C-alpha cells in the first residue's frame, strides 16, 4: 500500500472525549471514527487489525473443529419469548417493530437463533456433537458505551455454540474451546489470564473469562498467591471468616448519633473500628425489600446476592422504601426489632463478630454491643461481599488473594440444557429415545481484543503493534521522496517485500522526515526501513524496530532479509 494513496487520517492532538489510552490512540492513529455513541466506523487501518484478529480466531476455531456460518443480526421476538429472555434481558436489548407490527430485536448474542436452527435440523445422535460459530456484528444498548471499541453498542464478536449428546460431551467441547482461546490470545501477543466467572444473563452452570491484564480494565480479577485459583471479582469466593476471639456479650446500649450515617462517620463518632460497625443495606430484589448485613469495612457483591436470591434485578432502595421498611430515615437501618417482616441475609463475616454497632431503626440513633441470636436472627449466612486484598484463598491453605485490573476479551460458558430445554432442542439416541441436547457458548470481542492489545502495547509516541495483529508488518519511509535514488530504492524495497508476502506500507508522501517518523510511530508499525540519501550513498538503509527503538544500518539485501525473517518468526503459530 502506498501511503500517499491510502486513507490514514492521523491526528496530533489528544481527543478530549477519549479516556483510555487505546481509545485515544485508535482515534489519533486514524483507525476508528465515532458515528454515534458506541457506534464506530472502522477506517482502513483499524479494519486491517480487526481482520488480523478475525483470521487468528477463525484458524483456531477451525483447528478446534468448529464450523463457520453466519446468522442474521435481526432476530424475531418470538424466539426470545420462548427462551424467557425477552423479559429478562432488559434495556440492553434493542427492540423494534416492522411495518406489519411484528416485534424484533437486534441480536446481542445468538443462543436463541442457533438453538432454533439446531432443533429444526438435528434429529439423531449421529449428527452430534457439532460446534457452529460466526464472526458477526452484535448490538447491545449498553448504558454507558465508552472507551471506543472496548465498550461499544455495535461491535464485532466471534460467537460459537456447541451441541452435545450429554454433559460429558459438553465438557469435552468446552475444554476444546478453552484451549483454542488460550492459543488465540497467545497468538495475538497478549498477557492474559483465564479466570472463573459468573454466568450472568447468558445463564448456565460454569464459565471462564479471558482477561487481558491492564490498569485501565473495567474488571477486577482475583488470583491466589500460592495456587492456580483465579476468578473475577463478581465470582471470587470468600472463606468463612475466622471466628474472633470469644468475647462475652455486653449489655445492649442505645446511643444517640446525630447526623452520623456512614460507617466511617459512625465508627469515628463512637470511637470504634469500621469492622465493628455492621452496615444494613436496604435493597429491592425484583421490587421486594431485602436487608443485607455486612461488616462495615466490606463491600456488597450484588451478583452474589442476586444469585442467592435468584432474582433478576437488584437495586438500592430509595428513602421512601427505607422509611417504610425500617420506620426510620436512610442511614439508621438495622436488623434489631424491625417493625415489619422482611428478609434479612447476612454476610459470612458476621458469624465471627461480637458486640458490634448497628442502626437502631430510629433517626439519629444506633445500637452498641449488638450480638447475633441474642438480639436478632437472620434468614441465612451467605457469602455476600467482595474479596479484599490479602483475604485467605478459598481453595488452598497457604495462599492469600491478590487483585488485578483486567479487560474481558473472551468468555466461555457451559450452558447445560438452559436453552435446549426452553426451545425443546432434542435428538433421538441409539435406542430411538428422545433426549435433550447439552450446549456451550463461547464469545470473543474482536474490536475489544484490538483495543486491549493497544492498552498493553504503546509508549508516549503511539501504538506498538505486535506483528501478528499489526495493520502492516513493515513501513518503508522514503525520506526526500523526490530524489531519484531514494525514490527508486524505496520503490524496489517495497516491491521486493510485497513479493515476499510482507504486508508493507510505502511512505511515499512529500513530507518532512520528522513528520513521517511521527506518523509511523503513532500507527505502530513494528518494523521500519528508512531510505535516506546520505546512507544510500554508502549503499545502506536503516532498519528500526518500533518496540525497542533499536536501529541497524544494513545493506538493502540485509534489511529485506531481516524483515522477512522477523515477520516469519513472529507468525509461527
Nearer to ligand ATP, 232 or 326 (CB): 232
User: Does the footprint of ligand ATP cover residue 508 (CB under 6 A)?
Assistant: no
Residue nearest to ligand ATP (CB): 445
Q: Tell me if 437 sits within 8 A of 162, measured CB to CB.
A: no
User: What three-state secondary structure class fits 297?
Assistant: coil
Residue 150 carries which DSSP code? G
* Residue closest to 377 by CA, chosen among 322, 334, 335, 325: 335
Sign of the four-CA dihedral 370, 372, 377, 383: positive
* Cα 253 from Cα 413, distance rounded (Å): 50
* Cα 367 from Cα 285, distance rounded (Å): 27
Nearer to ligand ATP, 195 or 409 (CB): 409
> CB of 138: closest distance to ligand ATP in angstroms?
7
Among residue numbers 388 through 427, which ones bind ligand ATP (CB under 6 A)? Answer: 408-411
Cell numbers given for 393 = 484463598
Query: Helix, strand, coil % (nearest 5) of the chain?
Result: 30, 30, 35
Would you give the binding string for ligand ATP spanning residues 91-120, x where CB under 6 A is met?
A: ------------------x-----------
> CB of 287: closest distance to ligand ATP in angstroms?
24
Nearer to ligand ATP, 116 or 141 (CB): 141
User: Does the footprint of ligand ATP cover residue 532 (CB under 6 A)?
Assistant: no
Nearer to ligand ATP, 190 or 278 (CB): 190
Using DSSP bridges, classify how beta strands 527-531 and 474-478 pair: parallel, antiparallel or unpaired: parallel
User: Does the footprint of ligand ATP cover residue 483 (CB under 6 A)?
Assistant: no
Nearer to ligand ATP, 444 or 470 (CB): 444
Return the residue of 20, 25, 57, 157 that touches ligand ATP, per CB under 6 A: 157
Return the residue of 78, 142, 364, 491 that touches ligand ATP, per CB under 6 A: 142
Rounded to 5°, the CA angle 21-27-32 comes to 120
What radius of gyration, in Å, describes the C-alpha atoms of the chain? 29
Could you count the other beta carbons within 10 Å of the beta carbon of residue 539? Answer: 11
User: Does the footprint of ligand ATP cover residue 306 (CB under 6 A)?
Assistant: no
Nearer to ligand ATP, 370 or 409 (CB): 409
If phi > 0 it is left, if psi is from -120 to 50 it is alpha, else beta; for residue 414 that is beta
Nearer to ligand ATP, 142 or 542 (CB): 142
Cell numbers given for 129 = 456433537
Query: Which residues, listed in sequence order, are joined to residue 451 by a DSSP beta bridge?
Result: none
Q: Tell me the H-state helices in 276-405.
A: 302-309, 319-326
* Cα 466 from Cα 456, distance rounded (Å): 10
Nearer to ligand ATP, 217 or 532 (CB): 217
User: Does the footprint of ligand ATP cover residue 217 (CB under 6 A)?
Assistant: no
Nearer to ligand ATP, 155 or 494 (CB): 155
Return the residue of 152, 335, 399, 524 that touches ligand ATP, per CB under 6 A: 152
Could you count the other beta carbons within 10 Å of the beta carbon of residue 118? Answer: 23
Residue 277 carries which DSSP code? B
Return the residue of 3, 133, 155, 494 that touches ligand ATP, per CB under 6 A: 155
> CB of 154: closest distance to ligand ATP in angstroms?
8
User: Does the footprint of ligand ATP cover residue 34 (CB under 6 A)?
Assistant: no
Among residue numbers 443 through 462, which ones bind ligand ATP (CB under 6 A)? Answer: 443-445, 447-448
> CB of 47: closest distance to ligand ATP in angstroms?
16
Q: Which residues bind ligand ATP (CB under 6 A)?
A: 109, 140, 142, 151-152, 155, 157, 200, 202, 408-411, 443-445, 447-448
Amino acid at each position: 500500500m502506498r501511503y500517499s494513496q491510502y486513507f490514514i487520517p492521523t491526528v496530533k492532538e489528544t481527543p478530549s472525549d477519549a479516556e483510555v489510552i487505546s481509545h485515544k490512540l485508535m482515534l489519533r492513529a486514524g483507525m476508528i471514527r465515532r458515528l454515534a455513541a458506541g457506534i464506530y466506523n472502522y477506517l482502513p487501518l483499524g479494519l486491517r487489525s480487526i481482520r488480523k484478529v478475525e483470521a487468528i480466531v477463525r484458524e483456531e476455531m477451525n483447528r478446534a473443529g468448529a464450523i463457520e456460518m453466519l446468522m442474521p443480526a435481526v432476530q424475531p421476538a418470538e424466539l426470545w419469548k420462548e427462551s424467557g429472555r425477552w423479559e429478562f434481558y432488559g434495556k440492553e436489548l434493542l427492540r423494534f417493530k416492522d411495518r406489519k407490527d411484528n416485534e424484533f430485536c437486534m441480536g446481542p448474542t445468538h443462543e436463541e437463533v442457533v438453538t432454533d436452527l439446531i432443533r429444526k435440523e438435528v434429529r439423531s445422535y449421529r449428527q452430534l456433537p457439532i460446534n457452529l460459530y460466526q464472526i458477526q456484528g452484535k448490538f447491545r444498548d449498553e448504558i454507558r458505551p465508552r472507551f471506543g471499541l472496548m465498550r461499544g453498542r455495535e461491535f464485532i464478536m466471534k460467537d460459537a455454540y456447541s451441541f452435545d449428546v450429554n454433559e460429558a460431551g459438553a465438557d469435552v467441547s468446552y475444554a476444546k474451546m478453552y484451549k483454542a482461546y488460550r492459543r488465540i490470545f497467545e497468538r495475538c501477543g497478549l498477557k492474559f489470564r483465564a479466570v472463573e466467572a459468573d454466568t450472568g444473563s447468558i445463564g448456565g452452570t460454569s464459565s471462564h473469562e479471558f482477561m487481558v491484564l491492564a490498569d485501565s480494565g473495567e474488571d477486577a480479577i482475583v488470583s491466589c498467591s500460592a495456587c492456580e485459583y483465579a476468578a473475577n471479582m463478581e465470582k471470587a469466593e470468600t472463606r468463612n471468616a475466622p471466628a474472633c476471639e470469644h468475647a462475652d456479650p455486653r449489655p445492649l446500649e442505645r446511643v444517640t448519633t446525630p447526623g452520623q450515617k456512614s460507617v466511617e462517620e459512625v465508627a469515628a463518632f463512637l470511637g470504634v473500628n469500621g469492622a465493628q460497625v455492621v452496615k444494613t443495606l436496604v435493597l429491592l430484589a425484583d421490587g421486594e425489600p431485602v436487608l443485607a448485613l455486612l461488616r462495615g469495612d466490606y463491600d456488597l457483591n450484588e451478583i452474589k446476592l442476586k444469585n442467592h436470591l435468584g432474582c433478576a434485578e437488584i437495586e438500592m432502595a430509595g428513602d421512601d422504601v427505607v422509611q417504610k421498611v425500617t420506620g426510620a430515615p436512610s442511614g439508621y437501618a438495622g436488623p434489631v426489632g424491625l417493625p415489619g417482616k422482611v428478609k434479612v441475609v447476612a454476610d459470612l463475616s458476621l458469624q465471627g463478630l461480637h458486640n458490634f454497632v448497628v442502626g437502631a431503626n430510629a433517626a439519629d440513633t444506633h445500637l452498641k454491643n449488638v450480638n447475633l441470636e441474642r438480639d436478632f436472627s437472620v434468614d441465612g449466612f451467605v457469602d455476600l461481599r467482595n474479596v479484599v486484598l490479602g483475604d485467605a484463598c478459598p481453595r488452598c491453605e497457604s495462599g492469600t488473594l491478590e487483585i488485578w485490573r483486567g479487560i474481558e476479551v473472551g468468555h466461555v460458558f457451559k450452558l447445560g440444557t438452559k436453552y435446549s430445554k426452553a426451545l425443546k432442542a432434542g435428538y433421538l439416541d441409539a435406542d430411538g429415545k428422545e433426549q435433550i441436547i447439552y450446549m456451550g457458548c463461547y464469545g470473543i470481542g474482536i474490536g475489544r481484543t484490538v483495543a486491549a492489545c493497544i492498552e498493553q502495547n504503546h509508549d508516549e509516541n503511539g501504538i506498538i503493534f505486535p506483528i501478528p495483529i499489526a495493520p502492516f508488518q513493515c513501513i518503508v519511509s522514503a525520506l526526500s521522496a523526490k530524489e531519484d535514488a531514494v525514490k527508486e530504492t524505496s520503490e524496489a524495497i517495497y516491491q521486493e517485500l510485497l513479493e515476499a508476502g510482507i504486508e508493507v506500507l510505502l511512505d511515499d508522501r512529500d513530507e518532512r522526515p520528522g513528520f513521517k517518523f511521527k506518523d509511523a510511530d503513532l500507527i505502530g508499525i513494528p518494523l521500519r526501513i528508512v531510505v535516506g540519501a546520505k546512507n544510500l550513498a554508502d549503499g545502506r538503509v536503516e532498519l528500526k524496530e518500533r518496540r525497542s527503538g533499536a536501529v541497524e544500518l544494513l545493506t538493502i539485501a540485509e534489511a529485506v532479509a531481516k524483515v522477512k525473517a522477523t515477520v516469519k518468526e513472529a507468525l509461527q503459530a
